[in-house]
Amino acid sequence: MITIALQNSSLTIHALFVPDLTYNLLSVSYLSAASQISFRNGSCFIKYKSSDKEELAAFQDGLYHVPVGAPGKKTSLLATALTTSLPSFTLWHQWSANLSDKTLASLVPQEVYKRDEEEQERICQVCIKAKHTRKFERKLQSQATKPFELLHSDLGDPISPLSKLGFRYFIICIDDYTRVSWVYFLRTKTSTEVVSVFQHLQARIEKEYPTWPITRFRCDNGRGEYDNLLFRGILRICCITFEPSPPIGSPRMGFPSA
């Protein structure tokens, strides 16, 4: 904060401290808060709210100089600040993109900012929100207690080059209880071909082990092969719970069967 004594009043403005600047520059928008400014015939006239008299700002070296000093006396070309207040440590903290106190103290000399006892205990809301982290409480899942209670499945990456029969992908299914695995090869990863493979596996299990039906199906969050209306509809008809893994950064839950 800088307070400047004018001819008929004083003006308090917010300013940046520039030690090497040889002129005290004022913003017209700040000066207009305490006066009326008009430019006529290449001259600048200032009329303060506390006076009816217009003052002529002298033009020198490409700049208009604000008239200062008591009315009726010889005016000076340069306005002189009476009182100044250094920017606070909080303001420097905001200017420097919320640097830490230790880093800011090493960059900014203590004589160019003011820090009182209240600021030492300040709490920056931006820093608190920016440093928030999410804590994930991962709990071990209990293993299935009987065969085909939980079936894991995943789609393999494209095979290059193609197989002799034109297969590019493969699907693996693992029983959580017995760890028995089945592998099926696919030409595409469309929902139609994936559903056909799953129905073949389901029919095989129901025929060979009729007392142990598939209860839960767990897979990744693949939209094309698993998480689609066709595949979820098959699982819903067969009363199989669909358990897709949540996508990264989203607390998505599984979709229980109807």
Q: Within 10 A of 11 (CB to CB), how many other CB atoms are there?
A: 18
Which residue ranges form the domains of the chain, and what is each CATH number?
A: 2-84 (no CATH), 150-244 (3.30.420.10)
What pLDDT sits at residue 213? 92
What pLDDT sits at residue 1? 61
What is the C-alpha to C-alpha distance for residues 129 and 140, in angstroms, rounded to an integer? 30
What pLDDT sits at residue 189? 85
Instruction: Single out the residue of 2, 5, 4 nearest to residue 69, CA to CA.
Output: 5
Q: Which residues of the chain have pLDDT under 50?
A: 70, 74-83, 249-258
What is the C-alpha to C-alpha distance for residues 69 and 80, in angstroms, rounded to an integer? 10
What is the C-alpha to C-alpha distance for residues 211 and 238, in angstroms, rounded to an integer? 15
What pLDDT sits at residue 253? 39
Token pair in block for residue 25? 């520059």
What pLDDT sits at residue 104? 78
In contact, 169 and 186? CB cutoff 8 Å: yes
CA angle (194 as vertex; 188, 197 as ends), nearest 5: 115
What pLDDT sits at residue 7? 59
**Is the pTM value of this prediction over 0.75?**
no
Instruction: Single out the residue of 180, 145, 153 nearest to residue 169, CA to CA.
Output: 153
List Cα–Cα distances, 66 to 126, 139, 255, in angstroms: 40, 72, 73
Residues composing the chain: 258
